[in-house]
């Protein structure tokens, strides 16, 4: 990443920062890579450039807890450079790279390689996760303290569940001392084996082997029991079932250090999307510019965990709105075109989601199921707190009951080496997103910055578009229609 260049004043916009409990008109001054001032009227210093944000929303840059940048070893699918450019276009200023690369990130050398590669090529901040087990094979615990010392921000064998309860217990015990989360892919490997769609009427009608909801529920219950036993920091990846939410609720009511995420596709698509029946949007949740000409398998909707039932989708939305689910995470999983041009069972699971995540999630706001400040909180403050980098010190505070209150203005930035994320408090990093909540656009994968064009949202009409992403005071992405003016000082 490049160093900050100059100072920027953003004027005329609606400023929304859940970490400060603020939603209203305000201007923002960025200088020396940090937030220097927020207010109205004359700023304390003259900026070198001015961004006109009238009619737009200014918010903290989004933080993605869960994406796959594929480097090292799978550069035909994605690179850190292409994936982070896609992130910038989607409003993300920080992304967490999962370690299921080739080879997997299970050693100090590989963690350091990812960090160095990101410094050299990334458009946004990259925080590497490291493996829980050596080679992600589930047989031997990786050297978690050494991985943390090398710069890993957490541990995950994502793509595979940590099937051994003994190893998962050990990982959570380390997480308690290292103050770093363990992210688990919650599907029992034996129950899910061979399945490619949700076990139910859609899979039966299509002749596909199903992945039952019980596979997720079983591992969620086991992991929570181990979190209770160890006092460790557990994060549940891409939850997809209503049954899992019941376990999560009890864990939070008990004060356990358990957090969870949900993806935009599990919030908006149901199992019918696998074959295009109604395009799988419950009550036409999202508009489409065209409908498929015939019913067929659609491998763009092949994802793990699979798209679930309408009842599951509704339960996930409620849990997100109520604060039971802490964060929206993309699970960005780009693939080369041949990986999806095959039978449904043989298709690689995953969706290229960084560039559509915000527009898809904003549909919740436009439908009145979520207010804008809460959505931004789930994209900023929530994921920052999971990482222990929100505007509060470690350890991560636990939720109280079903609703976790948004942070108020009395909070301060964390001290120590951890850089605060998910906030635009004065002194925080100048990581900013500017978006138009009402601009409609058609998803055209061929125009993605990501190498992965695999998306079930091709042809969907999304309402809400990112116009600028600023990382550490540097303009990482700007739409053509954004008005940026150099001042006389800069000239």
Q: Domain coordinates of the chain in residue numbers?
A: 59-424
pLDDT at 418 (0 to 100): 54
On the question of pLDDT at 22 being above 70, the answer is yes
Check 157, 158, 331, 339 and give the catalytic one. Answer: 331
pLDDT at 392 (0 to 100): 61
Quick check: is 157 catalytic?
Answer: no
- Of 392, 326, 334, residue with least CA distance to 183: 326
Write out the two tokens for 403.
């609703």
Q: In which band, very low, low, confident or very high, does the pLDDT at 490 lie, cut at 50, 70 and 90?
A: low
On the question of pLDDT at 394 being above 60, the answer is no
Q: What is the 3-state secondary structure (H, E, C) of 107-121?
A: CHHHHHHHHHHHHHH
Residues in the chain: 491
pLDDT at 293 (0 to 100): 52
pLDDT at 395 (0 to 100): 40
On the question of pLDDT at 416 being above 60, the answer is no
Mean pLDDT, range 123-152, rounded to an integer: 98
Name beta bridge partners: 471: 474
Higher pLDDT pick, 72 / 281:
72
On the question of pLDDT at 356 being above 50, the answer is yes
pLDDT at 57 (0 to 100): 98
On the question of pLDDT at 277 being above 90, the answer is no
Mean pLDDT, range 397-403, rounded to an integer: 35
Q: In which band, very low, low, confident or very high, does the pLDDT at 286 lie, cut at 50, 70 and 90?
A: confident
Identify the weakest region by mean pLDDT among 73-77, 283-287, 353-357, 409-413.
409-413
- The fold of 59-424 is TIM Barrel (3.20.20)
Show the beta-strand stretches assigned E in 263-413: 287-288, 327-328
pLDDT in tens, 297-344: 899 999 999 999 999 999 999 999 999 999 999 999 999 999 999 999
CB count within 10 Å of CB 236 equals 27
Average pLDDT, the chain: 91
Identify the weakest region by mean pLDDT among 145-159, 328-342, 354-368, 477-491.
477-491
- Read off φ and ψ for residue 345, nearest 5 degrees: -60, -35
pLDDT in tens, 214-260: 999 999 999 999 999 999 999 999 999 999 999 999 999 999 999 99
Q: What's the number of CA atoms in the CB half-sphere (13 Å) around residue 29?
A: 14
Three-class SS state of 398? coil
pLDDT at 463 (0 to 100): 96
pLDDT in tens, 420-471: 899 999 999 999 999 999 999 999 999 999 999 999 999 999 999 999 999 9
On the question of pLDDT at 4 being above 90, the answer is no
Answer for the pair 142, 132: CB distance below 8 angstroms, yes or no.
Answer: yes
pLDDT at 279 (0 to 100): 54
Mean pLDDT, range 51-67, rounded to an integer: 98
On the question of pLDDT at 398 being above 90, the answer is no
pLDDT at 290 (0 to 100): 64
- Of 320, 267, 328, 395, residue with least CA distance to 95: 328
pLDDT at 72 (0 to 100): 97
pLDDT at 419 (0 to 100): 77
On the question of pLDDT at 45 being above 50, the answer is yes
pLDDT in tens, 175-191: 999 999 999 999 999 99
Identify the weakest region by mean pLDDT among 25-29, 205-209, 295-299, 430-434.
295-299
Mean pLDDT, range 59-87, rounded to an integer: 98
Predicted TM-score of the model (pTM) = 0.93
């Amino acid at each position: 990443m490049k160093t900050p260049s100059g100072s920027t004043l953003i004027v005329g916009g609606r400023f929304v920062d859940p970490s400060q409990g603020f939603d209203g008109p305000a201007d923002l001054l960025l200088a020396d890579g940090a937030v220097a001032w927020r207010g109205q009227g004359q700023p304390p210093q003259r900026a070198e450039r001015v961004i006109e944000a009238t009619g737009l929303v200014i918010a903290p840059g989004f933080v993605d807890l869960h994406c796959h940048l594929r480097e090292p070893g799978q550069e035909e699918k994605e690179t850190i450079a292409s994936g982070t450019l896609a992130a910038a276009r989607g409003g993300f200023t920080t992304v967490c790279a999962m370690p299921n690369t080739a080879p997997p990130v299970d050693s100090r050398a590989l963690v350091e390689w990812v960090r160095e590669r990101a410094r050299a090529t990334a458009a946004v901040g990259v925080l590497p996760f490291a493996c829980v087990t050596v080679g992600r094979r589930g047989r031997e615990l990786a050297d978690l303290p050494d991985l943390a010392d090398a710069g890993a921000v957490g541990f995950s064998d994502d793509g595979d569940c940590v099937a051994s309860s003994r190893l998962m217990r050990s990982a959570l015990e380390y997480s308690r001392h290292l103050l770093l989360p363990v992210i688990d892919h919650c599907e029992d490997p034996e129950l899910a084996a061979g399945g490619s769609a949700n076990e139910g009427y859609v899979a039966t009608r299509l002749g596909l082997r199903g992945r039952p909801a019980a596979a997720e529920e079983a591992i969620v219950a086991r992991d929570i029991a181990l979190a209770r036993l160890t006092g460790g920091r557990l994060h549940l990846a891409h939850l997809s079932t209503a049954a899992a939410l019941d376990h999560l609720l009890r864990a939070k009511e008990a004060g356990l250090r358990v957090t969870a995420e949900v993806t935009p596709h599990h919030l908006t698509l149901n199992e019918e999307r696998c074959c295009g029946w109604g395009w799988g949007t419950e009550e036409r949740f999202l508009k489409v510019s065209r409908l498929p000409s015939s019913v067929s398998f659609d491998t763009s909707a092949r994802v793990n965990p699979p798209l679930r039932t309408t009842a599951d989708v509704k339960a996930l939305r409620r849990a997100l709105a109520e604060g039971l689910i802490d964060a929206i995470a993309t699970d960005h999983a780009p693939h080369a075109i041949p990986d999806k041009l095959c039978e449904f069972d043989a298709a690689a699971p995953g969706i290229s989601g960084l560039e559509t995540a915000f527009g898809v999630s904003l549909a919740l706001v436009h439908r009145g199921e979520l207010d804008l400040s809460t959505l931004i909180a789930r994209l900023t403050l929530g994921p920052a707190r999971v990482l222990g980098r929100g505007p509060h010190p470690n350890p991560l505070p636990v939720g109280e009951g079903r609703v976790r209150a948004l942070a108020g203005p009395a909070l301060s930035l964390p001290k120590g080496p951890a850089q605060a994320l998910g906030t635009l408090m004065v002194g925080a990093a100048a990581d900013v997103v500017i978006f138009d909540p009402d601009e409609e656009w058609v998803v055209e994968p061929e125009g993605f910055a990501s190498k992965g064009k695999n998306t079930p949202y091709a042809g969907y009409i999304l309402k809400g578009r990112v116009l600028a992403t600023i990382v550490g005071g540097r303009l990482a992405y700007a739409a053509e229609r954004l008005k940026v003016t150099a001042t006389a000082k800069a000239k």
